[in-house]
Chains A and B, each alone.
Chain A
Amino acid sequence: MSLIQNKVQKNTVIHVNFLEAVKKQYHYKLHAHHSMFGTMIIMQIIAGLLTFSNQIYSVNSNNIDITVRIISADLIIGLTFLWIIIMAFQLTTKASKNKMVTFVTSKQTNHLANILFMITLCFIGGLTANLLGAFVKMVVSVMDQTDPFIYFAGTSVSEFATGILATIAYMLLIASFFYLIGEIVQIHSILIIIIPSVLVGLLFILGVNVEPIIGFYIFTKSLSIMLVKTLVTAFLLFFAATLFGNRLEVRR
C-alpha cells in the first residue's frame, strides 16, 4: 500500500467534439472495410464479363438484315446495387455496433459515420460501375471494327455524366432504404420475418401497384428534378434510420 500513497491526482476529463468523433469513426470504418472495395471491383468485373454476351436483336426485311446489339452497364450497376444493399445492412448488425463501442462512440456519431461511409461507397461504386460499362462498350466497338457496315452509337459525355450521377443517386436511395430497414429489424428479430412477409403480401398477393412509387424516381425526364427527388428521399430515410435503435444495449 505504501507504493500508492504519493500519487498525484490529476483531473483530466476529456471533452470530445461531436464532429471530431464522427470523423474518427468514419476513417476507422473506411480503414476497416478496405477489402470491400476489392470485393466490389471483382463483382463489377464479373458483371462486366457477363455483359459481353447479351442482347442481340435481328430485324429482317427485303434486302436488309439489321442486327442490333445493346451493351449497357445495367448488369454492372445492378450488381453494384446488390453490393450497396449488403454494405448498408452490415452496418446495422450487432457485430458492427459492438466493434464501434470498443473505442469512442455514441449512437448518433455511429449513425453519421455510417451515413458518410455509405455516401462514399455510393460515389465510388457509381463511378466505377459506369466507367467499367464504358470500358466494355469500348472493347466491343474495337472488336467489331473489322466489319464496314457497323454503326456504333456511342455515348456522349453528357449522357455518361448523367449515367454516373443517376447511378450514385439511386445507390444513395437504395442504401438509405436498406439502412433504415436494417435499423428497424434490429429492434426485434421477429421483424426479419414480418417485414419481408408484409412486402411480399403487398406486392404479389394484394397486387398493390408499386409502379407509381418507383416511377416517381425513374420516369422523371429531367436529371436535376430526379436528383432532387432521390437525394431528398435518401436524406429523409437516413434521418429516419437515426431515430431507431438508440436504446438498444450493446455487447450483450
Chain B
Amino acid sequence: MIIHCENVSKSYNASKVLDRISFQVTEQKITGLIGRNGAGKTTLLKMIAGFWHTSSGNLEVFGNDPFNNLTVSANTIFVDDQMAFPETLTLWDLLIEAGRFYQHWDAGLAGRLFEYFQFNKKQFHHHLSKGKKSTFNMIVGLASRSPLTIFDEPTTGMDSAVRKDFYRALLKDYLAHPRSILISSHHLNEIEDLLEDILLIDDGNLVLHTSIDDMREYAIAITGNYSQLDAWINGKEIFHKEKVGINEMYVIMKNDVPTEEIERYGFHISSVSPNDLAVYMTNKTRGGIDDVFDSK
C-alpha cells in the first residue's frame, strides 16, 4: 500500500479546504491530480508529503503517518517551484548534496539533464528565472528516483519546449525505473498522454478517481434538436448543456445510455476528452466573464 487516504479533511482558519477525501494508491503508477485553482490539490499533496497535518481522517504513506516521519521523507520527494535550497550553494553543489541523501540518485542522469537544459554549474538557485528554477527542481525530482515522487504544478514558468521535454523525460525515466508519481496540473490536455490514473478534485471534494482510459469513455457529447433533446435528457446526469445554432442543443452527459437508443432519436454523438470533462465537472461560473464587462 503506497497511499491510503480515508475520509481525510483539512480545515485552515475556519475554511474547509478538503472534505472527507478517500482514495488509495496501491501500485506504482503515474496519477494526475487535476482540479481548478484552489481546489485543494497542493493541500492534499503537502499532507501526503508530510509537510502539513490532516485535520481529520486517516492518511498513511508507506504504512506510516507521513507527518514528521523519517521513512516517508526518505522515500518521498516533493517538487514544486518553491523548493528551498541554501543560497550559498551552487547548482552543482546542490546536485551533489541531493545525491548524498537519495539512495537511488542517478548522478549521470542529473548531469546530462543539467547540461541539456544549459545550466551553469556555478550559478545560484535564487538567481535563476522562474522557468529555470522549475526546470532545475524537476531535474532534482527525476534524478532522485524516489519511490514516491510528487510534482506540484512542476511546469510553472516553463516554456512549451521545456514542458514537452519534461513530460518526455518523466515518461522515459518512469518506464525504465517505475515508481509512484503524483503530478498535479490544471493542464490535463497537456499531460493526458502521460497519465495512467486521474484524481479529479473540485472544491475540496474528490469528484473522480479513475483510469485515464475510463475517463475517456466516462461521458459523451450529444447534439440534436433543442426541444427533443431537452425532453429526452430529463432525469439524466448532465454535466453541461448549451444552445447552439438556431435550434440545437449541445449536451454532455454520463455515458450510461446505449448508443442505439441515442441514434434512434436522430441525435449526434461524439466523445468527450478528459480535459473537457474535467472542466465541465468542475465548472462553477454562472454566465461568463463577459458579464463582468457588460454594463448593467
Interface residues of A (CB under 8 A from B): 1, 3-4, 7-10, 12-16, 18, 21, 24, 27-28, 31-35, 95, 98-99, 101-109, 246-247, 249-252
Q: What is the bound-complex CA distance between A27 and B203, given in angstroms?
A: 43
**Pairwise interchain contact B89-A9, C-beta atoms closer than 8 A:** no
From 47 to 106 in chain B, residues with beta carbon under 8 angstroms from any chain A beta carbon are: 51-53, 62, 68-71, 73-75, 78, 82-86, 88-89, 93, 97-98, 100-104
Question: Using Cβ atoms and an 8 Å threshold, which residues of chain A touch B171?
Answer: 3
A102 touching B71 in the complex, CB below 8 Å, given contacts A1-B196, A10-B178, A249-B53: no
Measured CB to CB, the residues of B under 8 A from A are: 27-28, 30, 46, 51-53, 62, 68-71, 73-75, 78, 82-86, 88-89, 93, 97-98, 100-104, 147, 171, 174-175, 178, 196, 212-213
Determine which of B27, B30, B68, B86 lies in contact with A9 in the assembled complex, contact meaning CB atoms within 8 Å.
Answer: B27
Candidates B52, B88, B103, B175; contact of A34 at CB < 8 Å: B88
Distance between Cα atoms of A32 and B101 in the complex (Å): 15
Alpha-carbon gap, A159 to B98, bound state (A): 45
Measured CA separation A95–B126 after assembly (Å)? 14
User: What are the 3 A-B residue pairs with the smallest beta carbon separation, nearest first?
Assistant: A32-B86, A98-B84, A106-B70
Whether A251 lies near B82 (C-beta < 8 A) is yes
What would 18 A/B residue contacts be, using CB atoms closer than 8 Å?
Answer: A1-B213, A3-B175, A4-B174, A7-B175, A12-B104, A13-B71, A15-B71, A24-B101, A28-B97, A33-B88, A99-B85, A102-B83, A102-B84, A105-B73, A108-B70, A250-B51, A251-B46, A251-B51
Q: Which residues of A contact B52 (CB under 8 A)?
A: 249, 251-252
**Pairwise interchain contact B93-A16, C-beta atoms closer than 8 A:** no
A10-B28, A13-B71 given; 20 more Cβ-contact pairs under 8 Å: A4-B196, A7-B28, A7-B174, A8-B178, A9-B28, A13-B147, A14-B147, A28-B101, A31-B89, A99-B84, A102-B78, A104-B70, A104-B74, A104-B102, A105-B70, A106-B73, A249-B51, A249-B52, A251-B82, A252-B52
Given contacts A15-B71, A16-B70, contact A99 B27 (CB under 8 A): no
In the complex, A15→B62 CA distance in Å?
11
Question: Given the complex of chains A and B, what is the CA–CA distance between A106 and B28 in angstroms?
Answer: 25
- Chain B's closest residue to A99 (CB) is B84
Q: Are A21 and B74 in contact (CB under 8 A)?
A: yes
Determine whether the beta carbon of A246 is less than 8 Å from that of B68.
yes
Assembly CA distance A31 to B98 (angstroms) = 12
